Amino acid sequence: MHNPFVPETLEGWSVLHLMYRVDWERLKGIFPGDRHQMGQEAAAALAQTTPAAEHGATAYVQMLGHKADLMVIVFRRTFDDLARAEHALAQSHLHNFLTPTTSYVSIVELGMYEMTAKIHRQIGEQGLKVGSDEYNAAFDEEMGRQRQRVMGRLFLEVPKRRHVCFYPMNKRRGEGHNWYSEPFERRAEMMLEHGKIGRHYAGKVTQIISGSIGFDDWEWGVDLFADDPVVFKQLIYEMRFDEASAKFAEFGPFYVGLQFGAAGLPTFLDGQLPDL
């Protein structure tokens, strides 16, 4: 049954963020050729879990600060595929020099506030009763069409941008402000305002929203990719002034770093800054 007061979502990549601390002291005692081989082996092991681009991708990020040294972002079709990728890395020789600091599980999500209301309104105009088999079938058919329309946003390529920012967030459910008790129309209005700010930064930042309700400790994960890290500060600061964020947003820890290609993993292990 499709509840007209609950916004529908469309799902894409399954996503796993893995953060590690590197044992640099032990690595320095390894022969450079062996370090190079370890990096190649780990990257190859992850690549083997994505035999073609449509099966997924992997992003590598050199982290800034104490929270982690390396972040590996795994985009795959299913949770089974995420498990295979995580297992492949765990079985690599490199993993002996990595200590997990945290992780995050989610699925790329496209919220459909405006479209949900529009579809319910269109089906209602056909005289179909909410909750009936005919109503649900008509709704599913239209959602299927919408999914095909936005497939590129659900299974997008990893943005080729140097700087990466990841953070989890919730919508507040406190006594004073509870997002989920607000009327549907009001929530849709606030999300429209919120989205307009993001569109001002089109071309400067690529945003990937993933849903994690039932998967992890927060409700959403947000990945931002940009050529200039200052854009992260500008975008997030400006968004905090809209009502959806000012009253209802709660933010978790922020992770920021520099993205590099799989071929740069040996360079990273040598203690040098790898290129994108």
Q: Which residues are part of the catalytic machinery?
A: 167
Q: Which two tokens stand for residue 18?
A: 């893995």
Q: Are 262 and 46 in contact (CB under 8 A)?
A: yes
Contacts of 108 (CB under 8 A, 6+ apart): 11, 12, 13, 14, 15, 75, 154, 155, 156, 208, 209, 210, 211
Angle (CA) 88 45 256, round 5°: 80
CA distance readout (Å), 276 to 19, 63, 109, 265: 19, 14, 26, 11
Q: Which two tokens stand for residue 186?
A: 């009001």
